[in-house]
Amino acid sequence: MAGLDQRHVGAQGDRYDADHDQQAQPLDPAGRRPHPHAHPVSSLDVAAAILSCAVLIRCTLLFRLSSLLLVSLAVLAPGVRAAPASDSATGAARAFDRLSADPPRLREFLREMPKGGDLHNHLAGAIYAESYLGWAGASGLCIDMHDHSIARPPCTGDLKPAADALAQNPGLEDAMIDQLSMRDFTPSPGDASGHDHFFSTFPKFDAAGTGHVGEMLAEEASRAAAEHTEYLEIMWYPRVRESAGLGLSRPWANEDFAADLGAIQDGIPHLLAEAKTDTDQAEARMREVLHCATATPDPGCRVIIRYQTFLLRVLPPRAVFAQLAYSYALVHADPRFVGINIVAPEDNPVALRDYGLHMRAFRFFHAAHPEVKLSLHAGELTLGLVPPEDLRNHIRQAVEIAGASRIGHGVDITYEDDAPGLLAEMARRHVAVEINQTSNDQILGVRGADHPFTAYRAAGVPMVLSTDDEGVERIDLTHEYLRAVETWHLGYPALKALSRNALTYSFLAGNALTIDARGNPIKPNADLLAHSDRARAQWQLEEAFRTFETKEAQTDPR
């Protein structure tokens, strides 16, 4: 999917070290240590390629493994298991249970429940269509009255000034919202696929996002704060077009990656300087919109934001490689950028053809820079969308060849060769999976019992709940927690563990909190809080849970 520019329970004293230099790391709920994550290198053709990605950008009948049949959904697997509860936590859990048959009140409970973060979040897709329409009108953009897209001037023919068209045509705003999102989508002749409708939205609103990154970040942060989400790891980075252009304008030595890197290195430094300026300006505008320097700041000012860069897997190999080189350089140059991803529809013919090449390119850089963290879209596929042969190894390649710390989607895991072995490896190495329920339903038609959540859970693979593209999907993170409860009958302890996982498996810098023998975080010392973004965020989450659980426990009639 496109960004704006294109689109534990361990023994007392166990400690997780963010640099992963063989120091002690915290145990997970099954007593295992996590796998070391790495930590935070013709213009018209590029523009056309990027826009085509936006069109494309942006799972499975779950077979029953005999070894998993013995595991009940009532048993919380490693990574989705809570420590022994305090009295207030027990009271909050009872409050949750009383509301379990009352979805509106349960949603209210879940909205107030602290959530560690949203780790799978595309900036462009997170914005609601109403915002794009507002910016279109204010910026003098046009509306294509034929296909209900937003376009750049001049506004001639079917292109009408957005402000005038919206004011003069009752019902146009509703029609536009339906075309810029999945709202009320129903398959019909000419618009028969949820997959295709989803990805068609991005080029339709792309023009309206230009110049509004700060406002987009403000919308994200404010919404996150309103539903008590502490951290956002957003897929966005500046100069994405230009980074692709580096590769398209230089010689390509196929898989002689050292030679390919040498050919583009001289073009990277000036992009880094421009990227810093762009990011500074976007964040300054975000703080301005949120009134962060005033006496009445928006709660969104307190939300922690970091970014992932990404590659567009549907571009020519030389462009993808250049984006990868630039991404590594940006992560090293600017601590706000904490990881790298690869995006765009995995079922695209170019993406399928070049999948192995992309994973080998990641391996080339990962060997030299293992500290850089990778969260890779992999397994966002289902039978019928692609042939069975294309379901057999994408997740494995992302884990074993590229060195991914997290997997985005992972829907086709049970179609992988030796799926039980891969699941065991992911659990052993603590490769977390970002679960995007609504996205998987809307794009792939995978929902309920067909989703591999229970397979991951039974195998002990850590998971987090995330939104993917909440604006296009017309959801929020609370919706995904509620959906998980309704689909998989999760209890409060499991939800709390998922919330904590969002910080445990985030790419925030620094050591994590020490976990005691009961699986509860030990109050950190001042030095750790001062020097570790991760520990500081984790402790804030624990404080938020204490406040929330104390309040909810007071409603417990016992």
pLDDT at 85 (0 to 100): 62
Q: List the one residue out of 130, 118, 132, 183 whose CA is nearest residue 7.
A: 132
109 neighbors 95 (Cβ within 8 angstroms): yes
Q: Among residues of the chain, what percentage have pLDDT more than 70?
A: 84
Closest CA to 20 of 1, 45, 3, 39: 39
| Integer Cα distance of 504 and 537 in angstroms | 10
pLDDT value for 250: 86
Residue 342 pLDDT class (50, 70, 90 cuts): very high
Q: Say which residues have a Cβ less than 8 Å from residue 410's Cβ, sequence separation at least 6.
A: 378, 379, 395, 433, 434, 452, 456
- Give the 3-state secondary structure of residue 199: helix
pLDDT over 70 (residue 53): no
Query: What is the per-residue pLDDT across 455-503, written as a single tens digit (0 to 9) for each?
Result: 999 999 999 999 999 999 999 999 999 999 999 999 999 999 999 999 9
pLDDT in tens, 144-162: 999 999 999 999 999 999 9
Residue 253 is predicted with a pLDDT of 87
Q: 107-145 burial string, b = 16+ CB within 10 Å, else e?
A: bebbbebbbbbbbbbbbbbbbbbebbbbbbbebebbbbe
Q: Judge residue 22's burial from the number of C-beta atoms within 10 Å of its C-beta, 0-12 exposed, 13-18 middle, 19 or more buried.
A: exposed
Q: How many CB atoms lie within 10 A of CB 15?
A: 17
Q: In sequence order, which residues have a C-beta less than 8 Å from that of residue 207 and are 6 or more positions away?
A: 136, 141, 150, 151, 152
> Is residue 207 pLDDT above 90, yes or no?
yes
- Nearest CA among 418, 486, 417, 414 for reference residue 457: 414
- Strand-by-strand arrangement of the 373-378 sheet: 115-122, 229-235, 304-312, 337-343, 373-378, 406-409, 432-435, 463-465
Asked whether the predicted pLDDT for residue 28 surpasses 70, the reply is no
Instruction: Tell me how far apart the alpha carbons of residues 216 and 551 are, in angstroms, rounded to a whole number.
Output: 33
What angle is formed at CA 93 by the lines to CA 27 and CA 480, rounded to 5 degrees?
75
Residue 531 makes CB contacts below 8 A (sequence gap 6+) with: 510, 511
DSSP SS3 for 316: coil
240 vs 35, higher pLDDT: 240
Residue 258 falls in which region: left (phi positive, over 0), alpha (psi -120 to 50) or beta: alpha
Range of weakest confidence among 67-81, 323-337, 431-445, 468-482: 67-81
Q: How far apart are CA 523 and CA 558, in angstroms?
A: 29
Instruction: Say how far apart CA 549 and CA 89 lie, in whole Å.
Output: 5
Under the banding of pLDDT at 50, 70 and 90, the label for residue 330 is very high
- The pair of three-digit structure tokens given for residue 36, joined into one six-digit string: 């070391």
User: Quick check: 292 pLDDT over 80?
Assistant: yes
Average pLDDT over residues 304-325: 98
Give the pLDDT mean for 259-279.
97
Q: What is the pLDDT of residues 381-391, one digit of tens each?
A: 999 999 999 99
Q: What is the pLDDT of residue 57?
A: 40
Answer whether 148's CB lies under 8 Å from 204's CB: yes
pLDDT per position as a tens digit, 62-115: 333 333 333 333 333 444 444 456 789 999 999 999 999 999 999 999 999 999
Residue ranges with strand state E in 329-456: 337-343, 373-378, 406-409, 432-435
* Residue 266 per-residue DSSP state: G
Domains defined for the chain, CATH in brackets = 43-63+107-126+212-553 (3.20.20.140), 130-209 (no CATH)
pLDDT band, very low/low/confident/very high, at 192 (cuts 50, 70, 90): confident
Distances (CA, A) of 115 to 31, 128, 189, 210, 232: 24, 21, 41, 30, 11
Q: Would you tell me the crossing angle of helices 87-99 and 492-504 to the nearest 10 degrees?
A: 120
Mean pLDDT for the stretch of residues 209-236: 99
Contact predicate 193/127, CB 8 Å: no
Q: What percent of the chain has pLDDT over 90?
A: 79
pLDDT at 75: 34
Query: For position 320, what pLDDT does the model report?
Result: 98
Write down the pLDDT at residue 2: 37
Q: What's the whole-number average pLDDT of the chain?
A: 88
Strand partners, 234: 121, 307
**pLDDT tier for residue 558 given thresholds of 50, 70 and 90:** low
pLDDT (mean) for 123-132:
99
Q: What is the pLDDT of residues 349-406, one digit of tens each?
A: 999 999 999 999 999 999 999 999 999 999 999 999 999 999 999 999 999 999 999 9
Average pLDDT (423-443) is 99
